[in-house]
Structure 1
Amino acid sequence: MALLAYLHYTTDIFEVFMTDVARYQQKSKTLSALSIAGVALTLGLAGCSNSETTEAAADGSATTEGQNIELLNVSYDVARDFYKDYNPLFVEHYKAEHPDSKILIKQSHGGSSKQALSVANGLQADVATMNQGSDIELLEKKGLVESDWESKFPDNAVPFTSTIVFLVRKDNPENIKDWEDLTKDGVEIVMANPKVTGNGRYAFLGAYGYGLHAFNQDETKAQGYVKDMLKNVKVYENGGRAATTTFVQRGIGDVLVTFENEANLAATDFGAGQVDIVYPKYSIKSESPVAVVKTVTDKKGTTDAAKAYLDYLWSEPAQQLAADLYLRPSVKSVLDKNSDKLPPVETFRPNDAFGTWDEIMSTYFSDGGVFDQLAVNAPQ
């Protein structure tokens, strides 16, 4: 029977990790969250939802050799594991080229759209690394990012992609094999909130795209499928990592609908032995675009360093790191080399199925939009 969905709204969380090159191999084995209520999105760096710093010698962009540089990367929730390891990798690369300068990299993580809104409202990000184009487009509209941001880096400024998969309990007791199984009576779904997170939006659009694919583009039947699926949502979380915590550590739900890299992190690390991954036959491709927040970097004198920071995402070491963390590298040679851990999946791009991100946001995720119409207990 349909279970009443509830919202587990977590406020922005703060974690500060000081790392250096000597601790490069260290990996966190647990998830921790410190809930703090009543914090405004427009707070400065001390008010980031989750921050991490990496410090070592490197070059300072648009500054003289020997000066100190500080970069803030504002990013989406489940990218924290990648950037935790990428930052020391980048710093080491820069140290070899510019030994007389020093760079400090700080991280902020949270729901992608909340993060973009924070930057739009004044958070001084040097770079934005999001998980959907609409979040960068918001910054472009605000005049913070250049209008040709997609052409500034290879692959339309998308260094890696992911897809939506299912994380289920060990040995898959509910026998969930594909999207249609998410509508079974009694199945409890955990997912991120589509109103505020890219993770949740990709999950919703993945389900909708499956419905269109399964029912020969029949909108009525596709919406019927999605409505039935959403009836089974037990929890909408305010971030992809919060959804993982709810499913794995709190033991709520039968299936977590999430990104492939997040599912693999749970299956191989903090949820090892407790969960399995199910790949649907047809799913959505999620793209993670990046951009320099030019108005901020021009003011700080960090434009060159910010660009170099993003450029290095396409280096072979960074692309292999992405693959190691179950992100799909945009450099084909690296992706092909890792096909054992990143199996081929038939995917579709959201823009091909649903239009531009502006159209997607206004049609599906605005107040009273398609998501609100189909979700029995839609998050507000």
Structure 2
Amino acid sequence: MGNKWLSVGAVVASIAAIGLIAAKNVEGYTPHHILNVSYDPTRELYEKIDKTFAADFTRQSGEPVAVRRSHGGSSYQARQVASGAAAADVVTLGLPSDLEGIVKRGLIDANWRERLPNGAQPYYSTLVFVVRKGNPRAVADWPDLVRGSIEVITPDPKTSGNGKLTVLAAWGSVISRGGSEADARAFLKTLFDHTPFLVPAARAAGVAFAVEKKGDVHIAWENEALREVAESRGALEIVYPSISILAEPVVAWVDRNTTRNNSLPLAKAYLEYLFTDEAQEIIAEEGYRSFKPDIAARHADRLPSLNLFRIGLIARDWGDAQQKFFAENAVVDTVYTPKPRID
């Protein structure tokens, strides 16, 4: 099935060697299990991925497997893992800088990008706009978000990867047009002036906009926008701005926890599965952009070619962007007026 990077048979042999396969399974007990700590909008994606991975593992090994999941704002989730509050075997996070925060605490080896294909990036994404049917506020691009009394729904950049990407995409939209950093800072401040409240994570922002009908436009992960529009039965539409940011979600196994849990072979197999053709098809079906050109091309009707800038336009890399925009007294702290929180 596809191009597995590590055969299930090899994984089973490795697991048996470290004593994780029980001689006799207790009814209702799954001897092989890992915890995936992920960011907020990946709930539906990993529900499907986990089913196909578990079914394949069991079919080839005869042993049951379970993947438990935890979802929340990407930055919040990363802090939970780094502090030990969430004992993740694997992390699947929205921003490389969130994962690097765990590396700095010594839980993940510094060479994590070299251990999986494509620099440990199983897919790409971006931010788009969701508006009400007919686009009554005539929102077409980033400058339109700060017109008149328009209310913008976006998550809190202190806790959410979506919130951080909103900051970076808005800033880059100004720089890409030849604006200065002073212009970008002024635009970002005005954008926050148009946000009536902040929520801790992406899914909560979508609920506020699509279900509770708050605000005029939602700045959303592309996959979330596709889901919201599909579930709205014609009440919502997607607007693709003229430019947005190339988001680069990343994954890694958590060395300290997999060593303690004796779960490394299963955690490694799980993450390697994400890069197989079978998993990449699921990824594309769920509204994420496959790193494999042939699979991406098959889904181009739903995921069209876009003008996306890389993080290098506005910072040296993702780590530099974290310091420049989100560290204490950095850009966000100079433009961000504390908002009411809806948890």
Tell me, which stretches of 5 or more residues in structure 2 are unaligned? Answer: 1-9, 23-30
Task: Check the 8 A contact 1:208/1:222 in 2, yes or no.
Answer: yes
Partner of 1:353: 314
Question: Amino acid of the residue matched to residue 247 of structure 1?
Answer: F
1:63 is aligned to 2:24? no
1:118 matched to 2:80? The reply is yes
Contact 2:11 2:265 in 1 (8 A): no
Q: Secondary structure at the match of 1:242?
A: helix
Report the 3-state secondary structure (helix = DSSP H, G, I; strand = E; otherwise coil) of the residue aligned with 2:58: helix
Aligned to 1:196: 159
Secondary structure at the aligned position of 1:173 is classed as coil
Q: Indicate how the Cα distance of structure 1 residues 234 and 223 shifts in structure 2: closer, same or farther if over 3 A, else same.
A: same
Task: Kindly state the Cα deviation for residue 331 of structure 1 after the two structures are TM-superposed.
Answer: 1.2
Within 5 Å, which residues of 2 pair with 1:214-363?
214=177, 216-269=178-231, 271-363=232-324
Contact 1:70 1:106 in 2 (8 A): yes
On the 8 A contact 2:197/2:339 being kept in 1, the answer is no
Q: With structure 2 as the length reference, what TM-score do the two structures score?
A: 0.89
1:71-124 Cα distance to aligned partner (Å, 9 max, x none): 00000011111001110011111122211x221210000011111111111121
**How many positions carry a matched residue from both structures?**
320
RMSD: 1.7
Distance 2:59 2:236 in 1: 41
Selected match of 2:174 from 188, 194, 211: 211
Cα distance in 1 between the residues matched to 2:94 and 2:313: 17
Other-structure match for 1:139 = 102
- Paired AA for residue 156 in structure 1: G
CA 1:197–1:294: 2 relative to 1, 3 Å: same
The separation in 2 between residues aligned to 1:159 and 1:61, in whole angstroms, is 26
Q: How far did residue 352 of structure 1 move?
A: 4.2
AA matched with 1:347: L
Distance in 1 of aligned mates of 2:135 and 2:13:
50
Q: CA deviation at 1:61?
A: 7.7
Shift of residue 353, structure 1, vs aligned partner? 2.2
Counterpart selection for 1:80 from 11, 25, 43: 43
Amino acid aligned to 1:119 = V
Q: 2:325 aligns with which of 347, 350, 364?
A: 364
What is the CA–CA distance in structure 2 between the aligned matches of 1:115 and 1:268, rounded to whole Å?
27
Q: Is residue 59–residue 97 contact of structure 1 (8 Å, CA) maintained in 2? A: no
Counterpart of 2:67 in structure 1 is 105
Structure 1 partner of 2:116? 153
* SS state at 2:247 partner: strand
Query: Greater RCO between the two (CA within 8 Å, min separation 6)?
Result: 2
Instruction: State the SS of the aligned residue for 1:172.
Output: coil
TM-score (norm 1): 0.81
1:169 corresponds to which of 95, 115, 132 = 132
Provide Cα deviations, 1:11-38, integer angstroms capped at 9, x if missing partner: xxxxxxxxxxxxxxxxxxxxxxxxxxxx
SS of 1:71's equivalent? strand
User: 1:175 is paired with a residue of what secondary structure?
Assistant: coil
Cα distance in 2 for partners of 1:164, 1:115 equals 20
1:147-180 Cα distance to aligned partner (Å, 9 max, x none):
1100111111000111110000111000000111
1:278-307, CA deviations, whole angstroms, 9 ceiling, x for partnerless residues? 000110011110001011111211101101
Query: Hey, what's the Cα distance between the residues in 2 that align with 1:378 and 1:368?
Result: 17
Aligned to 2:5: none
Contact map agreement 1:211 1:223 (CA 8 A) in 2: no
Shift of 1:378: 5.7
2:58 to 86, 95, 103: 95
**Following the alignment from structure 2 to structure 1, what is the Cα–Cα distance between the partners of residues 91 and 340?**
26
SS in 2 for 1:286: coil
In structure 2, distance between residues paired with 1:113 and 1:226:
20
Tell me which protein shows more strand as a share of its residues. 1
The farther-off stretch of 226-235 and 324-333 is 226-235
Alignment check: 8 A CA contact 1:72 1:125 kept: yes
- Between the aligned partners of 2:12 and 2:36, the Cα distance in structure 1 is 15
Q: In 1, distance between residues paired with 2:176 and 2:116?
A: 32
Contact 1:61–1:301 (8 Å) recurs in 2: no
Cα deviation code 1:215-252 (max 9, x no counterpart): x1411122222222221112211000000000011110
- Shift of residue 366 of structure 1? 2.3
- In 1, are the aligned partners of 2:11 and 2:266 still within 8 Å (CA)? yes
Cα deviation, 1:240-271, whole Å, max 9, x if unaligned, reads 000000001111000000110001110012x2
Q: Verify the 8 A CA contact 1:61 1:306 in the aligned structure 2.
A: no
Aligned ranges 1:17-28 → 2 under 5 Å: none
Q: Which stretch of the first structure deviates more once superposed, 319-328 or 358-367?
A: 358-367
